[in-house]
Amino acid sequence: MLRRITTLSLGLVLLVGCGNESFDQASRSPGSTGGASSVTATKAQAEAAFAMLGRLKDAWKRRDCATVASLTTWAENAVAENACKAAKDGYQPSTLGEYGQVDYFLPATTPDDDRGAWFVALARDPEPAYFVFVQADGRWKLGAGPIPALRKTPQPAAPVRQVEDDSKIAVPASLVPTRHVAFLSDPAGVSAVKFASGDRMRDLLRDLVRAPEKVRPDRLSVDVEIEGPAYALVLADGGALVFHSLKVVYTQKPGSGRSSLAHPRYGKADLSAFIGIGKPEAITGSELLTLATQVSKNNTMTTVGMRKALEEIALGNR
């Protein structure tokens, strides 16, 4: 059963802002309205934040969950909260690699925004992948990434700016996460949200629809919701590139007359690492999709990058 639930913020507005960087404070410059200042990471600060990925990689390797938590926020922190603990018991999370040929896109934000100053890094080596860094708790942290690119990466506008600085694309960009929820929760297509043939979202919808069949006689329901804020850059062609995250929650329970699951969605090793048993009575699994979505001036959405990660497996149903 595929169903739609209330998102965390159905009328999502992209709010991106500044934090206070005690050791690497983002630079401020006078704003154009109301005397407000803009907050922008310098290239040196961005490079230092990107270099922090080496520390994060090492922390994951050592299963140092406290350090992993301190270096991450938003989507990466949501994944790390339970996955790092499970890794101590045998779960094998994806690992950070070595990245080079990095381009930095440093938009100006304003102090009255509450999502933290942010910037995007695009590493082109070994394969193109996006990273979103957010200023939180007095430091730059990894918010999302790597998000592997699935197609040619679009060119941000020059000078680099966030969508709130462009009234023509701000609203379409703000609705991207909500439109994804509508699409993935509506296999009948009545929501009128569309993706072109070959787009990864169409593949994902097909997988969600087929998921209950794969675990029968167990019963499986699927919920899709927005995870946290979104961050978006204006593109050179007048569109936007939106970085956002969705949580897909799988609730699995035994079929009629059974006391335990016949075909758990997850393997025994992952079940043991997250919940300590290999044959549970019922489980709830959460998987995080971190996306880079291009939205055009005519409101067409295209998936540019996507990463899927297991966030949690819990006993019982929520």
Give domain status of residue 214, yes or no.
Answer: yes
Per-residue pLDDT tens for 66-125? 999 999 999 999 999 999 999 999 999 988 999 999 999 999 987 777 787 999 999 999
**Is residue 42 scored above 80 in pLDDT?**
yes
**Residue 20 placed within a domain:** no
In a domain, 2, yes or no: no
In a domain, 99, yes or no: yes
Report the length, in residues, of the chain.
Answer: 318
How many domains in the chain?
1
Question: Long-range CB contacts (< 8 A, 24+ apart) of 204-208?
Answer: 204/289, 208/2, 208/184, 208/248
Is residue 309 within 8 A of residue 91, CB to CB? The reply is no
Instruction: State which residues form the domain around 141.
Output: 27-315
Q: Which two three-digit tokens encode residue 13?
A: 């507005």
Domain presence at residue 3: no
Contact status, residue 130 vs residue 292, Cβ threshold 8 Å? yes
- Please check whether residue 266 lies inside any domain of the structure: yes
The answer as to whether 200 is a domain residue is yes
The answer to whether position 281 is within a domain reads: yes
In this prediction, residue 40 carries a pLDDT of 86
Distances (CA, A) of 122 to 81, 149, 262, 302: 25, 9, 43, 18
Banded model confidence at residue 33, pLDDT cuts 50, 70, 90: very low
Say which DSSP state 72 is in. B
